[in-house]
Amino acid sequence: MERELIESLLFTVLKVLVVVPVALGVGAYLTWFERKLAGHIQNRMGPTVVGPFGLLQPLADALKLATKESVIPRGADRPVYYLAILLALVPSVLLLALIPWGPAFELGGRVIKPIISDVNVALLLAFAFGSLSVYGTIFSGWASNSKYAFIGSMRKAAVVIAYEVVLGFSVLGVVLLAGTLSTVGIVQAQIERGVWFILYQPVAFVLYMFCMLAESGRVPFDVQEAEAELVTGYNVEYGGMKFGAFPLAEWYLNVIALSAIAVVLFFGGWSGPSILGPLSPYFWFLVKTFGLVFFTMWLHWTLPRFQAKDITDVAWKILLPVAIANVVVTAVVKYFF
């Protein structure tokens, strides 16, 4: 019994050691990718100087940010000021624990699931973490002792309250269909039926994408940053790596995690034709996730931004009724057929 516990702990630690550095590294490299993408969308080259194709740019950025002088505004609430960084970063990383990267496989007589923690309330946890990360924004705005940061974080609070509700309702349809809250279970439900849930729940998917953009503060919902109005809003008083942590958490880790959850919910997770042998599930999962991340960035560099009051307006008056209707219809259909 004790041996099993130690073993499972050991495996979990091993998985964490694999997933977290990889995710952070990918997150950092998404900055390079985003800059390249933005560059090409805008008739520019993007980074080209540091390394071939500018590939070493994220390292150079990290080096620059890490060596910057740390400036904390007078009158800042220091414990909360630092807590904000943790609260932004930790929930985004924790989200990664709930993502099933592939099917279970056997290694030396042991069944290994490529997910850090396969809990049966995974989705609930995911949204709980998502809500937690908002505190990072709000604390940073409050602790900075700056009006701009404060207004930015208040906007974010208003937006998140609206979108959390819609997000919860939008995934309920999938949960009803799959009959489980476990991420692995949802993927398996789709594989068993041989169909992706996006076919049954297209409305829910659109709603989910809206909420995902709002949660991760991407255009057209980046009201809390709004550089032209609020000079990047809630993180304006953060400098160096402390500043770097916020976009990393919000724009990259959060987007990766939420895209991965979207893939789990709507695109059949790792399912796909076996083209790479045992590696193909991972391949498919990453391709689908990356597709959604790409879509998010594409929107970011194309669209203008909403106003905060418009966002909440849309959420409460349009999206929420649609989401509820979607749940009701799904439930009724599911009950009778």
317 contributes a contact to another protein by CB under 8 A = no
As a whole number of Å, the CA-based R_g of the chain is 21
- Candidates 247, 264, 55, 300; CA nearest to 140 is 247
> In the complex with another protein, which residue's Cβ is closer, 228 or 275?
228
Q: Residues 237, 73: contact at Cβ < 8 Å?
A: yes
304 contributes a contact to another protein by CB under 8 A = yes
What phi, psi does 287 have (nearest 5°)? Answer: -60, -45
**Minimal distance, residue 207 CB to another protein, in Å:** 17
Q: Pairing between strand 110-112 and 105-107?
A: antiparallel
213 contributes a contact to another protein by CB under 8 A = no
Instruction: Output the DSSP codes for 26-57.
Output: HHHHHHHHHHHHHHHHTTS----SSSGGGTTH
**Minimal distance, residue 217 CB to another protein, in Å:** 12
Stretch that binds another protein, among 111-119, 199-207, 247-255, 296-304 (CB under 8 A): 296-304
Name residues contacting another protein, limited to 114-173 (CB under 8 A). 147-148, 151, 154-155
Residues in contact with another protein, shown as a per-residue x/- string from 44 to 63 under the rule CB under 8 A: x-------------------
> In the complex with another protein, which residue's Cβ is closer, 178 or 226?
226
Contact with another protein (CB under 8 A) among 34, 164, 222, 237: 222
Spell out a b/e string for 61-81, using b for 16 or more CB atoms within 10 Å of the CB, else e.
beeebeeeeeebeeebeeebb
> In the complex with another protein, which residue's Cβ is closer, 151 or 178?
151
322 contributes a contact to another protein by CB under 8 A = no
- Candidates 238, 240, 248, 251; CA nearest to 28 is 248
231 contributes a contact to another protein by CB under 8 A = yes
223 contributes a contact to another protein by CB under 8 A = yes
- Asked if the bond preceding 100 is cis, omega within 30° of 0, the reply is no
219 contributes a contact to another protein by CB under 8 A = yes
Give the footprint of another protein on this chain (CB under 8 A). 38, 41-44, 147-148, 151, 154-155, 219-220, 222-223, 226-231, 300-310
